[in-house]
Each structure stands twice: as C-alpha cells, then as structure tokens.
Amino acid sequence: MSTELSHTAESRSSDGGPGVVGHREAGGAPIAAEAAATTLVSQSSGADWLARYSSSLMGVFGTPQRVLVRGAGCLVWDADGKEYLDLLGGIAVNALGHAHPFVTSVISSQLATLGHVSNFFTSPTQIALAEKLLTISKAPAGSKVFFANSGTEANEAAFKLARRNNGDGKRTKIIALEGAFHGRTMGALALTAKEAYRAPFEPLPGGVVHIPFGDIEALRAAVDDSTAALFLEPIQGEAGVRPLSAEYLQAAREVTTAAGALLILDEVQTGIGRTGKWLASQDAGIVPDAITLAKGLGGGFPVGALLTFGSTTSALLTAGQHGTTFGGNPVATAAALATLHAIDSQGVLQNVQAVGQHLRDGIASVEGVTEVRGEGLLIGFDVNAEIAPAMVTSALDAGFIINSPGPRTIRLAPPLILTIEQADRFLAALPSLIATATAQTAKDAK
C-alpha cells in the first residue's frame, strides 16, 4: 500500500504542484486534491435539510429520521450535532463502522490510482477479491464469481442463473419462502414475498411460488423436476431475523439435488462475518449451488457478488448473457478486499461472537422482551406490545439507532466492531426505551 500511496503523491506533484491534481474546470479555478464534499454543501440545521429533502427527493423512503453528517467507528452525528450509537450499521452494511481508517485509505488510494475500467478489461483487485471470496466460502474447484453493485443486482444475476437451469424448457418453477426479502428490482421482487412490495408492479417475472417458512414437509412437496431453483435466506432479515434450522438447509440441499434444482442462498444480509463466521450457512455442512453477497461486503462501499459453485453451475451463464458497467470496478473491489483483510486480521469474527452473545443474553433478561433471535450481530427481538416503532423514536431521542421490521420486533445489525462497553450502554438504556415507547403508544392511542 505504501508504495502505491507514495507513487500517487509523486504523480500529483509532478502533474499539478503539491496537493493539486492536474485538472481544471473549463476556464475555472484548479481543483484542490484535498477538497471535501462539506466545502460543496452549505451548513444547515436538520429541519432545513429535511424541508429541502421533501421538495427534492422522491417519497419512496418516507421522511428520513435524521440528517447524518459524520461517522467514526460505531458513532454517527446528525446535522444538529447530536451523537448516536449506531446499532443498525446502515442495515448490516457498515461492517467495520464508519470511516474505518484502513478501508478509507485503501479506497482513496485505489481511486487515485485507477478508479474505473470497463468490463472489456479487468484489474488486479477484481481478480484478487474473486479468489478471496471463493476461499472464504470454501467453494469447490471450478467455482466462479460475478460482481454487481448491490444485493438486488446479485439476486438478479442469480435469477438469470436459475432461468438457465431450465432443463430444455421443462424447469419453469422457482421457489422462495414466505417472508422472503430478496430485493426491489423486478426479478428480485418476484422472489420477495411481501404483497405490499409486489402488488403495485404486477405482472412480475413468472414462475415463482412461495412456500411456508421453515416447513420441511412443504419443501419436500414443492420441489420437483419442474423446479429450476430454490432461494433461501439462512436467516430472514427483513422478516424480523428468523433463522432457518441446519436441518432445514440440509433437507433443502437433499431435495434440490434429487430434483436437479439449484440451491441458491441469499447471504446478502447474513454473509461477511455478520453472524460471527464468514457465512451464516457454513455450519450446516452443505455445499449450495450459488450464494449472493452484498451489504457488508464493501464495508460501506456498494458492491455485490454472485458466487456459483462447481464448474457445471458456473458455466450456466455464458459470454454475453449477463453484464454490468460498474460491477467489479477497481474501487469497489478494493473496498471489499480491505474489508475482508481487516475482518481477518483484527479478530473481528471473535468479537462478533462475544459481543453478539453478550447483547442477546442482556436483551433476553429485560422485562417486556418475549423472544430474542439471531446469531452474532444480527439480532431480532420481540416485545410484548406493538411498541416497536415508538421504540425506534425513543431510542433516537436517547442517542441510539435501531430498527423495527415489525410492530413488535426490533432488529439490530451494528458494526461488527461494536464493543462490550457500547453494547452495555444500549442494554442499560433498553428498559427505559421500552417504558417511554409504551407510554407514548398509549398516549397516541387516545
């Protein structure tokens, strides 16, 4: 890295003087290398920003909870200077927290060296990342990687892979589970179960059926020789952190193999250390046909991947049958390489196991909590009344970012570097968050 960095500094000074890249806007001032976005954007209060947001941004996300301006580790700050402990991590994305120095430095240096090439070309970071992903997923010989920019794109590629397993037109069925979330683009949306997400966009790509969650009988009944693929999340994240048992994953492998269908695991949320191991599915002792990854993979930088296992599955999509402009670009793949390296070298998986267990034990002992689910630092818990949305608000007021995927359910997916001390801060606050939310919900109901 250091030679890369010094090379960059050298070429900067020879091109445009110290600290100045040799670019000029047409007729304008030179553009300083150290310019930050904060110098392009005026300062405003959170309320002002939100007013501007609502008149300029599409309403698909509703009103944002806060305007965030800065982060460091597991902390973020809003436009009004208030500090939060981030227990959601950009929904399982900020694996190493915010502004991780190593990831930041690798991204900056890669961008200053080679930022983008078309897929007529390749680059060392792309190849090295593909190799690393095949290693950590213990992929058999002949396995391959396709890079995308997001979870939904990784699943679009997997959907097309499934369509190529069509058995001369006889395999038209694709199976997913009730409660499944696989993304928002049309193919991934067809795999997603939630009616409210699907209904406005019918007709969706055809042939997808949803079967009851975790029901091995239903699985055996559904998978037959007209099945192209079965899509599973080892732990359903959006549905409130619902794990599939190892027994279910093993049955899924058995029936798909017997039927000639692909077993495709969506580890977009559960992969890359989230559960205290590289992949949530790895203890089940099965070899799937494909795995999709995204969220935590780039440590906050957008990158997704489809891994295909073995040479037969890896040959299903041939030259020209799929592609992307940005997928696998040097910066995104450098970000992911840096993230994987930091997870490896800084004992992050052990931290996830220890802090995750500590959090789950602590949450389970709080009055009003009825169930705690999940593994590592992907945690869902239920409370005994429909106060979860109000808890998100009371948590924000108290300086914690959490999420409610359902009226009684809270989800936590903090940075994998969360400390025991930070977990304890949340555990100490949890009883009062529940009390405040209960009072607020009762008041709102009147």
Ligand X SMILES: *Cc1c(COP(=O)(O)O)cnc(C)c1O
List residues near ligand X by CB under 6 A.
150-152, 155, 181-183, 233, 237-238, 266, 268-269, 294-295
Q: Which is nearer to ligand X, 256 or 269 (CB)?
A: 269
Q: Which is nearer to ligand X, 96 or 430 (CB)?
A: 96
Listing DSSP states for 217-237 in one string gives HHHHHH--TTEEEEEE-SEET
Residue with tokens 């991947």: 305
Question: What is the C-alpha to C-alpha distance for residues 431 and 367, in angstroms, rounded to an integer?
Answer: 7
Residue with tokens 């110290």: 18
Q: How far is the CB of 243 from ligand X (least distance, A)?
A: 13
Q: How far is the CB of 24 from ligand X (least distance, A)?
A: 36
- First vs last C-alpha separation in the chain: 61
Q: How far is the CB of 294 from ligand X (least distance, A)?
A: 5
Q: Which is nearer to ligand X, 190 or 268 (CB)?
A: 268
Q: Which is nearer to ligand X, 94 or 422 (CB)?
A: 94
Question: What is the C-alpha to C-alpha distance for residues 327 and 329, in angstroms, rounded to an integer?
Answer: 6
Q: Which is nearer to ligand X, 362 or 415 (CB)?
A: 415
Q: Which is nearer to ligand X, 22 or 214 (CB)?
A: 214
Which residues in 28-67 belong to E strands, given as ranges? 30-32
For β-strands 290-293 and 262-266, DSSP reports them as parallel
SS3 at position 73:
strand
Listing DSSP states for 264-293 in one string gives EEE-TTTTTTTTSSS-GGGGGT---SEEEE
Question: What is the C-alpha to C-alpha distance for residues 289 and 305, in angstroms, rounded to an integer?
Answer: 14
Q: How far is the CB of 56 from ligand X (least distance, A)?
A: 22
Q: Which is nearer to ligand X, 8 or 282 (CB)?
A: 282
Q: How far is the CB of 105 from ligand X (least distance, A)?
A: 25
- In three state form, how does the secondary structure of 99-152 look? CCHHHHHHHHHHHCCCCCCCCCCCCHHHHHHHHHHHHHCCCCCCCEEEEECCHH
Q: How far is the CB of 292 from ligand X (least distance, A)?
A: 7
Distances (CA, A) of 154 to 103, 139, 220: 22, 17, 27
Q: Which is nearer to ligand X, 88 or 434 (CB)?
A: 88
**Which position's Cβ is nearest ligand X?**
151
**Dihedral of the CA atoms 202, 208, 209, 215 (nearest 10)?**
-130
Q: Which is nearer to ligand X, 322 or 425 (CB)?
A: 322
Cα four-point dihedral sign 326, 330, 335, 337: positive
Q: How far is the CB of 286 from ligand X (least distance, A)?
A: 18
Q: How far is the CB of 153 from ligand X (least distance, A)?
A: 7
Q: Which is nearer to ligand X, 46 or 296 (CB)?
A: 296
Side by side, which strands form the sheet with 83-86? Answer: 68-72, 75-78, 83-86, 400-401
**Angle at CA of residue 38, ends 45 and 31, nearest 5°:** 155
Counting every residue written for the chain, the total comes to 446
Q: How far is the CB of 91 from ligand X (least distance, A)?
A: 7
- Say which amino acid occupies 156: E
Q: How far is the CB of 154 from ligand X (least distance, A)?
A: 8
